Amino acid sequence: MAPASRLLALWAVAAVALPGSGAEGDGGWYAFVRPVILQGLTDNSRFRALCSRERLLASFGDRVVRLSTANTYSYHKVDLPFQEYVEQLLHPQDPTSLGNDTLYFFGDNNFTEWASLFRHYSPPPFGLLGTAPAYSFGIAGAGSGVPFHWHGPGYSEVIYGRKRWFLYPPEKTPEFHPNKTTLAWLRDTYPALPPSARPLECTIRAGEVLYFPDRWWHATLNLDTSVFISTFLG
């Protein structure tokens, strides 16, 4: 467990200003400067029910999905039926595998074919001025994840399982190899980091949302077989 000073702040949304909402308080500060865990945003119990293994296979088992390799730049893509991914590839991460040997379902969703599912999702009820939301839906096995990378701001909600996050501000480039999995980084690099070089970190559980600001470095590690959805603000 990281020292308390390195853990992310937690907001119960009903009691505080929202990030980027223009409300009084610290919301604007978090929107552009610091990640934050948010609770009580929306009720996605219906969406969660539709994301069970049985319901997803019944509705989308024969649909072709696009998988990405789990390295920083995700160069390689593979298309295969969703049922084949769930039954053959959705297993715990092999700690000896490299990122370009690990296929990961996240980000390359066909919104037309998955529209019947996504219409039941309630995204975080606020945004940033000048941005529009875009969804990325994912399902991955325990120990899987994506090594350090960065992009624009957004939210990540866990629907099933738990997802551990490691984050650095834009000006602090983490020590990592882009083709090593997050599991390998946690085993080989993380223990030797001095306290000043440790990332901010947290574990997001079902129903919780992590807000990440623009250009923050982050790596993810699924602690269980997990279902999750991100709302990118582009």
The answer to whether residue 11 sits within a structural domain is no
The answer to whether residue 4 sits within a structural domain is no
pLDDT tier, 24 (very low <50, low <70, confident <90, very high otherwise): very low
Specify the pLDDT at position 188.
95
The answer to whether residue 5 sits within a structural domain is no
The answer to whether residue 45 sits within a structural domain is yes
The answer to whether residue 1 sits within a structural domain is no
pLDDT of 28 above 80? no
pLDDT of 25 above 70? no
Is the CB of residue 139 less than 8 Å from the CB of residue 160?
no
The answer to whether residue 177 sits within a structural domain is yes
DSSP-derived pairing of the beta strands 64-69 and 103-106? antiparallel
The answer to whether residue 147 sits within a structural domain is yes
Domain that holds residue 192: 38-233
Query: Which tens digits make up the pLDDT trace of 125-170?
Result: 888 888 888 889 999 999 999 999 999 999 999 999 999 999 999 9
- CATH code where residue 219 lies: 2.60.120.650
The answer to whether residue 14 sits within a structural domain is no
Handedness of CA 173, 196, 154, 31 (dihedral sign): negative
Specify the pLDDT at position 10.
54
Is the CB of residue 126 less than 8 Å from the CB of residue 210?
no
Instruction: In whole angstroms, give the CA distance from residue 33 to residue 28.
Output: 8
pLDDT of 19 above 80? no
pLDDT of 63 above 80? yes
- Domains in the chain, number: 1
Query: Which tens digits make up the pLDDT trace of 183-197?
Result: 999 999 999 999 999
Mean of pLDDT over the chain: 86
